[in-house]
Structure 1
Amino acid sequence: MITGKQRSYLKSLANNLTPLIQVGKNGVSDSLIEQIDVLLENHELVKITVLQNSPVTAKEIVDEIIDGTGAEFVQQIGSKLTIYRESKENKTIEI
């Protein structure tokens, strides 16, 4: 579990991030979870955009993505959500 202070720090880092992956008309699939898993391992902090043609909203898929990847929820702003998981090998963020 990350603390409020750590979450605030991650939010400040996320401000400058561009979304690395998009959830489109297929919603959350196993392959999407696998892609997010790889992104988390490489980047630790990942911003996800939920497109307008997606059958689900960002709020609806947060739990599904977190359960599938073991990541921590950082924030959601509109159709963008940010998640964090400490990398096993590519530690780039000190919290």
Structure 2
Amino acid sequence: MLTSKQRSYLNGLANKIDPILQLGKKGITDNFIKQVDDALEARELIKIKVLNNSLLEAREAANEVAEATNADVVQCIGNKFILYRESEDKKRIELPK
């Protein structure tokens, strides 16, 4: 679980990044979960865009993907959401206490 201070810090970092994955009409598939999992391991902090043709809302998609990848939802605004998970091998982000 992230504290509000950590969440705020991660939001600041996420402002500078573009969405690296898009969730479309196929929804959350095993392949999509694998891509998110790999991206989180490599980057720790990712932004995902939910396309207009998706059957899921951004909030429910964020919760589903976070649960499947053991990540934390940092923020969900409009059709984008931000996920964070500490990398096991390539730790880059040092969270405030």
TM-score range, shorter chain: over 0.9
**Which runs of 4 or more aligned residues in structure 1 lie more than 6 Å from their structure 2 counterparts after TM superposition?**
none
| In structure 1, C-alpha distance between the alignment counterparts of 2:50 and 2:77, rounded to whole Å | 11
**Aligned residues between the structures:** 95
Gaps of at least 5 residues in structure 2 are none
If the length of structure 1 is used for normalisation, what is the TM-score?
Answer: 0.97
| In structure 1, C-alpha distance between the alignment counterparts of 2:20 and 2:90, rounded to whole Å | 17
| In structure 1, C-alpha distance between the alignment counterparts of 2:56 and 2:94, rounded to whole Å | 33
- Which amino acid in the other structure matches residue 39 of structure 1? A
CA offset digits 1:21-57 (Å, max 9, x no partner) = 0001101111101100000000000100000111111
Give the SS at the match of 1:16.
coil
If the length of structure 2 is used for normalisation, what is the TM-score?
Answer: 0.95
CA RMSD of aligned residues (A): 0.7
| In structure 1, C-alpha distance between the alignment counterparts of 2:61 and 2:51, rounded to whole Å | 12
Partner of 1:32: 32
Gaps of at least 5 residues in structure 1 are none
